[in-house]
């Protein structure tokens, strides 16, 4: 079957039908040949029996009277049967009366020879028959026939078979070429449509159906498949166009959003730039102003001091009071200017970050403030503190301001207790970063938390200057320092109980922030 | 088979046949059957190839009688030949008659032994018109009105037939018998 695999179905069908027909024809021919051979042999046996019987009957007189002349006349009549090559007549006693032969002489008579009257002996058919007259065996006939008729008939038959098979094969070839279309045409048409569909991607094509056989089912299935593909294609196309519309819409929305955001950003950037500029201007203004303000102030103070030293006696009580007030105001102004300068220096006079041990900073601050602590009989506790990367001066400024505030806003009847603690922990906003959470707690007057927004602003005061002195810049400086270090500052407080200022600072500084 | 082959076949067949005949004759001369063995067989065969009128027999099982007239030359050969033979339901009786006077008229075949022509003529005259196959072995037996006559032909027993005599006797002779006869006188069937 390997040979046939790549042939077209048409050729396959023709080949199969022709081969089958030819095989059937050959088998039938062989069957006929065999049957004919059997029949021919049988009829040869019958013929030789009839002939033997006839010869026996004719020659009964010749055999009875052992007359060779008349016997010879009868045997000579056998010349019309050319296949009989040997014939002999015997008396009942077994003596040969007469014989004719073209080949071997007749066998010696054997009266007791068993077996049938006629049988095939090698290349011959032999007949041994009795001559019966008046119910008495009076002699015997021997006939030997060659098998020429059998061979001739076989040869004749072979030619007929060859001719028949040749003609039959040609006929089968022609008929199968005609009939194979019944099977192959729908399949070929289906294959053609399949080729067109796959080449042109045209799913509108349909294979024509010819009948309700298996091929018909196949074609129905194929067409149904095309239907399904078309339906799915249409659905897909619909979904795709819908999707496209949706994408377009969404893109437009996004573009709008982006546009809006860009505008907002630009606006923000412009504002920020403007703000920064004005901030810088303000800072430089504040610095320059403060710096330049110091010079006339020093003169005011210097001449006030000199006035008091040289001319105090010349002044009356009222004059001395004025002079004292003037000196006090000048002193306050000096503090104000110094504070302003330090506030603006946070941004302008910067030192590079280095590793700062907050314990040392806290100790320095406490020793600076020792006088005030002792005066107020206060206690400052320092827990173990972190070491962080920071500006050491500003750290000192920060802690000093916060501890100073704690000492300053104490309850008049109670000595201040201040606690400085820190804890290292993960940042809430960026968990990979470690922060130092520094807490400075006091038992002072506290404040209402609704003012939390205000206390870190410049010149913001919650109390009259007469009650608590100060410029209202300290916490603003603190916030500025903390912000410069990328940290946060906030506070908790209960009025009359105490306050707690919480500073979160990164342990390590990103280089970009400096 | 064409003429040439047939001629060759016939030629060779003749040769072979002659050779056989010669052999058979040589055989006969040496140790083959004697003359009267053959003649007794022939007499018996005549009974088979001749049909008698039905009224010749008393009934359907009545024996067929072969008579020998004159001095018996067969010895016991005839009895040996017909021993146990049945022809168309009839057994065969052999009867011997010394002289014509002793003949009782019972024979269906009557063999006249010896070469005497006078005896033959007398017997034929007496049996004329009767259904008896007369058989002789003398010259002129047929001419005298006998039916069948034996003679020797190169030491071989042969016989001639006179159909006129058999017709007159009301006997039917088989054509096979006639075909074997050396000579047939009288009308041929």
DSSP A269-332: HHHHHHHHHHHHHHHHHHHHHHHHHHHHHHHHHHHHHHHHHHHTTTS-HHHHHHHHHHHHHHHH
Which chain A residues are closer than 8 Å to B177 by Cβ? 61, 65
For A137, name the nearest residue in chain B, comparing CA atoms only. Answer: B85
φ/ψ of A5, rounded to 5, equals: -55, -40
Give the whole-angstrom CA distance, residue A507 versus residue A504.
Answer: 9
Give the whole-angstrom CA distance, residue B77 versus residue B83.
Answer: 10
Q: How far does the CA of residue B101 sit from the closest CA of chain A (Å)?
A: 32
Strands B172-173 and B50-51: antiparallel
For B45, name the nearest residue in chain A, comparing CA atoms only. Answer: A64
Report pLDDT digits (tens) over B28-85.
444 567 889 999 999 999 999 999 998 888 888 889 999 999 889 998 999 998 888 8
The answer to whether the Cα torsion of A332, A335, A341, A344 is positive or negative is negative
- How many other C-beta atoms are found inside a 10 Å radius of the C-beta of residue A12? 17
**Whether B159 and B66 share a structural domain:** yes
Interface list for B 137-156 with A (CB within 8 A)? none
Strands of the sheet with B156-162, listed across from one edge: B86-87, B90-97, B64-69, B109-112, B133-136, B148-153, B156-162, B183-185
- Domains held by chain B: number: 2
Model pLDDT, residue B63: 92
**Whether B62 and B151 share a structural domain:** yes
Model pLDDT, residue A216: 87
Integer CA distances (angstroms), A345 to A288, A328, A368, in order: 11, 25, 21
Residue with tokens 């007949």: A127
Domains contained in chain A, CATH given? 9-179 (3.30.450.20), 350-513 (3.30.565.10)
Pull the structure tokens for residue A348. Answer: 């302008």
Question: Is the CB of A67 less than 8 angstroms away from the CB of B10?
Answer: no
pTM of the model: 0.50
ipTM given for this complex: 0.75
Which chain B residues are closer than 8 Å to A134 by Cβ? 48, 87-88
**Whether B46 and B12 share a structural domain:** no
**Whether B25 and B13 share a structural domain:** yes
Model pLDDT, residue B28: 46
- Does the CB of B180 have a partner CB in chain A at under 8 Å? yes
* Substitution target from B148, B160, B176 for chain A, most A beta carbons within 10 A: B176
Polymer length of chain A: 514
- Does the CB of B18 have a partner CB in chain A at under 8 Å? no
Pull the structure tokens for residue A361. Answer: 């900073």
Give the whole-angstrom CA distance, residue A226 versus residue A205.
Answer: 8
Q: With a cut of 90, say whether residue B95 has pLDDT above it.
A: yes
Model pLDDT, residue B1: 43
Work out the mean pLDDT of chain B and round it to a whole number: 83
Coil, strand, or helix at residue A435?
A: strand
Supply the DSSP string of A87-156, one letter for each residue. Answer: EEEEETTS-EEEEEESSSPPPPP-TT--S-SEEEETTEEEEEEEEEETTEEEEEEEEEEESHHHHHHHHH
Of A60, A82, A95, the CB nearest to B24: A95
For B39, name the nearest residue in chain A, comparing CA atoms only. Answer: A65
Confidence of residue B12 (pLDDT cuts 50, 70, 90): low
Choose among A461, A450, A453: nearest CA to A489.
A453
For A57, name the nearest residue in chain B, comparing CA atoms only. Answer: B176
Supply the DSSP string of A178-218, one letter for each residue. Answer: HHTHHHHHHHHHHHHHHHHHHHH--TT--PPP--SSHHHHH
Choose among A494, A209, A237, A478: nearest CA to A339.
A478
Which chain B residues are closer than 8 Å to A64 by Cβ? 45, 48-49, 176, 180
- Does the CB of B107 have a partner CB in chain A at under 8 Å? no
Element (H, E) at A417: strand A417-426
Give the whole-angstrom CA distance, residue B163 versus residue B175.
Answer: 11
Report pLDDT digits (tens) over A17-54.
889 888 998 898 888 888 988 888 898 899 999 999 98
Contact call for residues B163 and B189 (beta carbons, < 8 A): yes
The answer to whether the Cα torsion of A129, A135, A137, A139 is positive or negative is negative
Of A70, A101, A134, the CB nearest to B179: A70
| Buried b / exposed e along A242-274 (16+ C-beta atoms within 10 A) | eeeeeeeeeeeeeeeeeeeeeeeeeeeeeeeee
Give B68's strand partners.
B96, B111
| Burial (0-12, 13-18, 19+ Cβ within 10 Å), A23 | exposed
Choose among A482, A410, A394: nearest CA to A446.
A410
- Does the CB of B15 have a partner CB in chain A at under 8 Å? no
Q: What is the CATH number of the domain that holds B93?
A: 3.40.50.2300
* Substitution target from A55, A64, A139 for chain B, most B beta carbons within 10 A: A64
Residue with tokens 């377009």: A248
Model pLDDT, residue A249: 94
The answer to whether the Cα torsion of A177, A179, A185, A187 is positive or negative is negative
**Whether B163 and B173 share a structural domain:** yes
Question: Is the CB of B16 less than 8 angstroms away from the CB of A60?
Answer: no
Q: With a cut of 90, say whether residue B16 has pLDDT above it.
A: no
Model pLDDT, residue A251: 92
Q: How far does the CA of residue B116 sit from the closest CA of chain A (Å)?
A: 25
Model pLDDT, residue A336: 82
Which chain B residues are closer than 8 Å to A82 by Cβ? 1
Pull the structure tokens for residue A290. Answer: 């403060």
Give the whole-angstrom CA distance, residue A374 versus residue A379.
Answer: 8
Model pLDDT, residue A439: 93
Backbone conformation region of residue A244, classed left if phi is above 0, alpha if psi is from -120 to 50, else beta:
alpha
Contact call for residues A37 and B155 (beta carbons, < 8 A): no
Backbone conformation region of residue B161, classed left if phi is above 0, alpha if psi is from -120 to 50, else beta:
beta
Give the whole-angstrom CA distance, residue A279 versus residue A426.
Answer: 33
> Following CA atoms A137, A142, A147, A149 in sequence, which dihedral angle do they give, to the nearest 10 degrees?
-70
Model pLDDT, residue A514: 42
Contact call for residues B9 and B1 (beta carbons, < 8 A): yes
Give the whole-angstrom CA distance, residue B42 versus residue A64.
Answer: 8
**Whether B55 and B109 share a structural domain:** yes
Of B6, B12, B24, the CB nearest to A79: B6
Pull the structure tokens for residue B73. Answer: 């030359």
Model pLDDT, residue A502: 93
| Residue A189 CB partners (closer than 8 Å, separation 6+) | A207, A208
**Whether B10 and B89 share a structural domain:** no
Which chain B residues are closer than 8 Å to A68 by Cβ? 17, 20-21, 24
Q: How far does the CA of residue B88 sit from the closest CA of chain A (Å)?
A: 7
Pull the structure tokens for residue A50. Answer: 């009839």
**Whether B46 and B100 share a structural domain:** yes
Model pLDDT, residue B10: 57
Q: Write out the residue range of the structural domain in which residue B88 sits.
A: 33-185
Contact call for residues A42 and A72 (beta carbons, < 8 A): no
Which chain B residues are closer than 8 Å to A136 by Cβ? 48, 85
**Whether B9 and B47 share a structural domain:** no
Contact call for residues B185 and B160 (beta carbons, < 8 A): yes
Which residues of chain A are under the pLDDT cut of 70?
1-4, 110-115, 348-350, 465-466, 510-514
Supply the DSSP string of A49-65, one letter for each residue. Answer: HHHHHHHHHHTHHHHHT
Integer CA distances (angstroms), A156 to A30, A36, A309, in order: 13, 11, 171
Coil, strand, or helix at residue A67?
A: coil
Residue with tokens 């004005």: A278
Choose among A440, A438, A396: nearest CA to A418.
A440
Model pLDDT, residue A150: 84
Cα B177 to chain centroid distance, Å, stands at 9
**Whether B57 and B14 share a structural domain:** no
| Residue B61 CB partners (closer than 8 Å, separation 6+) | B89, B90
Coil, strand, or helix at residue A356?
A: strand
**Whether B19 and B112 share a structural domain:** no
- How many other C-beta atoms are found inside a 10 Å radius of the C-beta of residue A323? 17
Pull the structure tokens for residue B160. Answer: 């001639």
**Whether B150 and B110 share a structural domain:** yes
């Amino acid at each position: 079957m390997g040979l046939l695999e790549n042939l077209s179905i048409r050729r396959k069908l023709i080949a199969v039908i022709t081969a089958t027909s030819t095989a059937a024809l050959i088998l039938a021919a062989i069957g006929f040949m065999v049957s004919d051979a059997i029949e021919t042999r049988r009829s040869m046996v019958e013929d030789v029996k009839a002939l033997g019987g006839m010869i026996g009957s004719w020659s009964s007189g010749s055999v009875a009277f052992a007359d060779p002349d008349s016997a010879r006349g009868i045997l000579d009549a056998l010349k019309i049967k050319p296949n009989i090559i040997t014939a002999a007549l015997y008396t009942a006693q077994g003596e040969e009366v007469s014989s004719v032969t073209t080949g071997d002489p007749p066998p010696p008579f054997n009266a007791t020879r068993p077996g049938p009257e006629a049988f095939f002996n090698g290349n011959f058919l032999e007949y041994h028959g009795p001559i019966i007259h008046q119910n008495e065996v009076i002699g015997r006939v021997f006939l030997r026939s060659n098998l020429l008729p059998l061979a001739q008939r076989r040869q004749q038959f072979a030619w007929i078979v060859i001719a028949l098979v040749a003609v039959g094969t040609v006929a089968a070839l022609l008929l199968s070429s005609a009939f194979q279309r019944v099977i192959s045409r729908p399949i070929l048409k289906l294959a053609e449509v399949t080729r067109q569909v796959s080449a042109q991607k045209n799913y509108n094509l349909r294979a024509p159906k010819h009948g309700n056989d298996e091929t018909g089912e196949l074609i129905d299935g194929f067409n149904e498949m095309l239907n399904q593909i078309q339906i799915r294609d249409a659905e897909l196309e619909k979904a795709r166009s819908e999707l496209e519309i949706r994408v377009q819409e969404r893109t437009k929305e996004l573009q709008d959003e982006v546009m809006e955001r860009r505008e907002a950003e630009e606006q923000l950037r412009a504002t920020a730039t403007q703000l920064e500029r004005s901030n810088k201007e303000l800072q430089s203004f504040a610095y320059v102003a403060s710096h330049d303000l110091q010079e006339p102030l020093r003169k005011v103070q210097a001449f006030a001091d000199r006035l008091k030293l040289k001319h105090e006696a010349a002044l009356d009580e009222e004059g001395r009071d004025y002079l004292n007030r003037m000196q006090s105001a000048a002193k306050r102004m000096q503090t104000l200017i110094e504070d302003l300068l330090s506030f603006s220096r946070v941004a302008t006079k910067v030192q590079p970050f280095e590793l700062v041990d907050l314990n040392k900073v806290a100790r320095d601050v406490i020793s600076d403030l020792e006088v005030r602590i002792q005066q107020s009989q206060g206690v400052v506790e320092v827990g173990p503190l972190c070491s962080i990367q920071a500006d050491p001066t500003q750290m000192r400024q920060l802690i000093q301001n916060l501890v100073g505030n704690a000492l300053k806003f104490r309850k008049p009847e109670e000595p201040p207790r201040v606690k400085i603690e820190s804890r290292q922990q993960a940042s809430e906003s960026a968990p990979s970063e470690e922060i130092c959470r520094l807490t400075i707690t006091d038992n002072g007057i506290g404040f209402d938390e609704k003012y939390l927004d205000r206390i870190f602003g410049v010149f913001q005061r919650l109390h009259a200057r007469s009650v608590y002195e100060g410029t209202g810049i300290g916490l603003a400086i603190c916030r500025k320092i903390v912000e410069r270090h990328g940290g946060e500052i906030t506070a908790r407080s209960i009025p009359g109980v105490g306050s707690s200022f919480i500073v979160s600072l990164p342990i390590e500084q990103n280089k970009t922030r400096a | 088979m064409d003429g040439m082959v047939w001629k060759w076949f016939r030629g060779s067949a003749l040769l072979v046949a002659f050779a056989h005949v010669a052999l058979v004759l040589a055989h006969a001369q040496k140790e083959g059957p004697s003359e009267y063995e053959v003649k007794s067989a022939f007499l018996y065969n005549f009974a088979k190839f001749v049909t008698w009128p039905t009224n010749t027999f008393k009934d359907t099982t009545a024996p067929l009688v072969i008579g020998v007239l004159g001095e018996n030359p067969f010895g016991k050969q005839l009895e040996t030949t017909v021993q146990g033979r049945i022809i168309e339901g009839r057994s065969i009786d052999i009867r011997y008659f010394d002289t014509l006077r002793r003949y009782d008229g019972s024979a269906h075949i009557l063999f006249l032994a010896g070469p005497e022509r006078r005896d033959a003529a007398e017997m034929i005259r007496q049996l004329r018109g009767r259904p008896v196959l007369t058989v002789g072995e003398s010259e002129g037996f047929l001419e005298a009105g006998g039916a069948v006559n034996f003679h020797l032909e190169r030491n071989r027993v042969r016989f001639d037939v006179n159909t006129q005599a058999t017709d007159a006797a009301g006997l039917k002779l088989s054509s096979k018998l006639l075909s074997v006869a050396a000579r047939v006188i009288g009308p041929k069937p």
